[in-house]
Amino acid sequence: MKTSNPNRIADLMRESMTIERAMEEAIQETLRSHKLMGDPIVIWRDGKVVWVPPEQIELAEEANGPPTNGPTSRSK
């Protein structure tokens, strides 16, 4: 049986967190874009496809305040 290398596991966990953070930023950027352009989004809710109008799109920054760093805090 092969033993796990703790350093490799730590590396994988860091990569995983980086990937998750990048995906969350991409999702928020896409939601922000749809909201600003007035385009609805489509989500899966309670086993059904639901259209969400732009005025009902919720952004993480609206709930948590504006981001303080990272690519989503840049001015446009």
Q: For 4-37, how does the pLDDT look when each residue is reduced to its tens digit (9 = 90+)?
A: 676 787 887 778 888 898 999 999 999 999 999 9
| Reported confidence tier of residue 72, pLDDT bands at 50, 70, 90 | very low
5: tokens are 């290398």
Read out DSSP for the chain?
A: -PPP-HHHHHHHHHHHHHHHHHHHHHHHHHHHHHHHHT--EEEEETTEEEEE-GGGPPPHHHHH-S-SSSGGGS--
Residue 64, amino acid: N
